[in-house]
Amino acid sequence: MKLTQQQLEAHLWGAANILRGKTAGQDYKNYILSLMFYKRLCDQWENEADEAIAEQERQQGRLFTDAEKAVFRARGAHRFNIPKGCRWGDVREASVNLGEVLTSAMWAVADANSELRGVFTVDWNQPAPDGSGRPLIPNEVVHALVQHFNTHDLSNASVPPDILGRAYEYLIKQFADDAGAKAGEFFTPPEVVDTLVRCLEPQPGDTLYDPTCGSGGMLVHAADYLRECGHHATAAQYFGQEMNWGNAAIGKINSVLHGLEAQIAAGASTITDPSFRDNLGKPRKFSLVLANFPFSDEFWWLKPELQTDDKKKKDRLKKEVFSKEGYKDPFGRFGRGTAFKAPPAGYGDYAFILHILASLTDAGRAGIVCPQGVLFRGQPEVEEETGEFDADGNPKIKRRKADDEHLIRKALLEARLIDAVISLPLNVFYGAGVPACLLLLNKQRPPERHDQVLLVYAARHYRELSNKNELRPQDVMRMLVHVQAYGDAARVPALVAQHSQRIREQISAREHDEVERLEAESADWAERLDKLGPQIADTLAKLAKLTVKSEQTKTKKALDMLQAQRDRAAAKIGERDEKIAEARRRAEDDRRDVDQVGAELVALYGDPDELLKQARVVGMAEIAENEYNLNIPRYVDTFEPEPRVGVKDALSGLYAAEAALADADQELSKLLKAVGYAE
């Protein structure tokens, strides 16, 4: 039976519910994702064997015996090798020490396939921390998970790769919602990724690199964009590095499921140990870089294994890697002998930015998520009064050196590498409460843009959710039109038409997916409700015929239980219907807003004063006058005026407030009299 994407998502999230709370923290996501992938590999291995046997039988005009099938199955051609004794059936048949059996099977599969090294990082047989020798995840829980996954075939015969890939991304998103602040380590909101990918517009032949790739979402979205443009995902090459082994494993699985054939290196810091290097040991060059690095990493200069709580050890290591000129970078990305100062020890943002710049080809481009501090932190060189006076009574002056971050930003701007900056709404990232922006770098900018920088203020437009803010499709459209028009009003109508059509289709597709998902998640309740109706009717009919009191009491008790189950099921279906109605209302609002935003953008580019409130192309001379400070409010009118209130409305409000005050005075007097404090 073919599974829909929504049925698969409900099935996978059901597995997560079985394991939640039975591992340390958010580790359960790695267990579920790796188990799903292992089941997929095994099911597809069996499917490939079945298809090959069926083809041989067709060619030979006869049916194979079971013995012949077993021989052919073992030696047939497979995408991945699943060793004998390590297949899903072997795990399913185990009854004791299931965690040990499962772990051994997974690791054997990884050893048999070089492409899968590092994919299975969890130990299902890990002992509990109390020293009892019992496994952290009890045998019965592992058994329940195996039985849960056993209910559906995950091979191509039941689940096409594109559906499985989208379901996997959905699962990662659900884990991110569940993890809250910690999700920022492995997940970037897809709306932000989509904006960056569409700003860079990957093309066949590109090499794409994410130096802090987490679960690989940016690489996957870039591949999706290529498919959308009519190309195969492998028309480009994909590379990523991720320090966290567990997150890298998720990223590798994501890559395999989406058919990217990405190279993802794990376990080392991109700054201290970049994995992709050229023949000279320098960072390898890529045509496109997408990144969301850890914001303001205080110990960016330390290898992961040296990041301990020992302050003395850190201070000693700091002296070893920093000189008077700054960080001693062995890869020539910044510091002595380069065009850029070394970043300060306490803020790693420019370390990542300069690594990205060093990883770009001569015509390379980058889209980076950054804290807005990179736009303005650091002061230029200034002269200050010391508070002392010379012999003639004149104040003594001392020269204060420019801060390193100011000098790096100035060098980037003077080299004409910064193409555009987009400020984002607050709280759109998991666990990052600081204001963020998108930084677009281009090493070969068009001549007409050479001495300009586009600044976009996109912080006003978002959807407010209960625990974070979300960029809507129409908010993404605003940013894309500003970036792709780059101040050219003549291009805006065509861009609005292009994006409006695509985004309306995207909104409708998301609406359909959400409704289907809600219906799939509540399918068991709906089935239960359908069955309970006839059962209740039969019980009522039976009760009406009974004359013996004891039988009546027994039947009435059964009826009460059935009615309670019906009420609970009906409540669940009611909740589903409310959510479906809300999803449809939200989609309709978004579709309407797309049209309104499109009309607003066209009008905006005909009114320079209004355009100044959202975007502006700024010349380098003005940026130099502002001492290379890129804080967007310096250039774009971000002031939010108070809403105008008419005199009549103001007087009405005043009269209402005075009346309310008089009523409160009277009530207070009554209370005081009641307790004897007033006459």
How far is residue 46's CA from residue 157's CA, in Å, rounded to a whole number? 10
Q: Pick the closest to residue 103 from 115, 83, 84, 86 (CA basis).
A: 86
DSSP per residue, 316-359? HHHHHHEETTEE--TTSSSSTTSSSPPPPTT--HHHHHHHHHHT
**Residues constituting the chain:** 679
| Predicted pLDDT of residue 61 | 87
**Last residue within a domain, chosen from 604, 629, 661:** 604
Clarify whether residues 431 and 288 are in a common domain. yes
**Helix, strand, coil share (%) of the chain residues, nearest 5:** 55, 10, 35
Average pLDDT over residues 113-136: 87
E strand or H helix that includes residue 124 = none
- Asked whether the beta carbons of 94 and 88 are under 8 A apart, the reply is no
Please tell me the predicted confidence (pLDDT) of residue 19: 86
DSSP 3-state of 456: strand
The distance of Cα 246 from the centroid of its chain, to the nearest Å, equals: 16
Say if residue 10 is in the same domain as residue 125.
Answer: yes
Q: What is the DSSP letter of 546?
A: -
Q: Assess whether pLDDT exceeds 80 at residue 309.
A: no
Same domain, 109 and 208: no
Amino acid at 56: Q
pLDDT bracket for residue 643 (50, 70, 90): low
Is residue 502 included in any domain, yes or no?
Answer: no
How large is the average pLDDT for residues 651-672?
A: 82
| Strands of 573-635, DSSP E | 615-619
Range of the domain at 648: 642-679
Q: What is the pLDDT of residue 387?
A: 75
Average pLDDT on 646-653 reads 74
Domain count, the chain: 4
Tens-place pLDDT, residues 463-514: 988 778 899 999 999 999 999 999 999 999 999 999 999 999 999 999 998 9
Does residue 536 share a domain with residue 474? no
Which residues, in sequence order, are CB contacts of 618 under 8 Å at separation 6+? 452, 453, 454, 455, 635
What integer pLDDT is reported at residue 183 of this predicted model?
Answer: 60
The pLDDT score that the predictor gives to residue 182 is 62
Same domain membership, residue 301 and residue 450: yes
492 within some domain: no
Query: Is residue 630 in some structural domain?
Result: no
Please give the Cα distance from 597 to 614 (Å, whole number): 13
Q: Which of 7-11, 21-25, 616-620 has the lowest mean pLDDT?
A: 21-25
The answer as to whether 126 is a domain residue is yes
* 340-398 per-position pLDDT tens digit: 988 988 899 999 999 999 999 999 999 999 999 999 998 888 777 777 777 777 777 77
The pLDDT assigned to 144 comes to 93
What is the reported pLDDT for 440? 98
Residues 238 and 263 grouped into a single domain = yes
Residue 507: per-residue pLDDT? 94
Q: Work out the average pLDDT over 280-297.
A: 94
- If 0-12 CB within 10 Å is exposed, 13-18 middle and 19+ buried, where does residue 241 land? buried
Q: What is the mean pLDDT of residues 587-616?
A: 93
Report the distance separating Cα 29 and Cα 23, nearest Å. 10
Residue 679 has pLDDT above 60, yes or no: no
User: Is pLDDT of 24 > 70?
Assistant: no
Are 128 and 205 members of one domain? Answer: no
Report which of residues 402 and 193 the model is more confident about: 193
Round to whole Å and give the CA distance between 318 and 627.
31
Which residues does residue 365 pair with via DSSP β-bridges, in sequence order? 288, 442
Residue type, position 556, single letter: K
Q: Structure tokens of 658?
A: 């005075």
427 lies in the same domain as 345:
yes
Give Cα 616 distance to the centre of its chain. 29
Cα–Cα distance measured from residue 170 to residue 13, given in angstroms and rounded to the nearest whole number: 9
The type of residue at 622 is: E
- Residue 431: pLDDT band (50, 70, 90) is low
Q: Does 131 map to a domain?
A: yes
**What Cα–Cα distance (Å) separates residue 355 from each residue in 276, 339, 349, 358?**
12, 13, 10, 5
Q: Are 287 and 362 in contact (CB under 8 A)?
A: no
Which of 146-160, 391-405, 526-540 is predicted least confidently? 391-405
Give the pLDDT band of residue 315 (cuts 50, 70, 90): confident
Helices 5-19 and 139-150: angle between axes, nearest 10 degrees = 170
Say whether 69 sits in a helix, a strand or coil.
helix
Q: Is the model's pLDDT at 459 over the cut of 90? A: yes
Q: Indicate the DSSP class of residue 450.
A: T
Radius of gyration of the chain (CA): 31
Same domain for 78 and 208? no
Residue 300 is assigned to a structural domain of this protein: yes
Examine the domain organization and report whether 47 and 94 are in the same domain: yes
State the pLDDT at residue 433: 73
- Predicted pLDDT of residue 629: 96
- The residue among 112, 131, 159 that closes a domain is 159
Do 81 and 183 share a domain, yes or no? no
Q: Answer yes or no: are the C-beta atoms of 90 and 99 closer than 8 Å.
A: no
| pLDDT at residue number 644 | 65
Q: How far apart are CA 144 and CA 153, in angstroms?
A: 17
- The model's confidence at residue 638, banded by pLDDT at 50, 70 and 90, is confident
| 118, 136, 159 - which closes a domain | 159
On whether residue 108 sits in a domain, the answer given is yes
pLDDT, position 184: 63
- Checking if the pLDDT of 201 tops 90, the result is yes
Cα–Cα distance between 5 and 325 in angstroms, integer?
A: 55
CATH number for the domain harbouring residue 305: 3.40.50.150
Tell me what percent of the residues of the chain surpass a pLDDT of 90: 56
What CATH number is attached to the domain comprising 61?
Answer: 1.20.1260.30
Q: Quick one: 281 and 429 in the same domain? A: yes
Q: How far apart are CA 561 and CA 567, in angstroms?
A: 10
- In this predicted model, which residue has the larger pLDDT, 368 or 679? 368
What pLDDT is stored for residue 87 in this prediction?
Answer: 93
Amino acid making up residue 212: T
Q: Flag whether 673 is in a domain.
A: yes
pLDDT mean across residues, the chain? 89
Residue with the two structure tokens 């130096």: 211
pLDDT tier, 50 (very low <50, low <70, confident <90, very high otherwise): confident
Instruction: Return phi, psi of residue 285, to 5°.
Output: -95, 140
Give tens-digit pLDDT for 443-457: 999 999 999 999 999
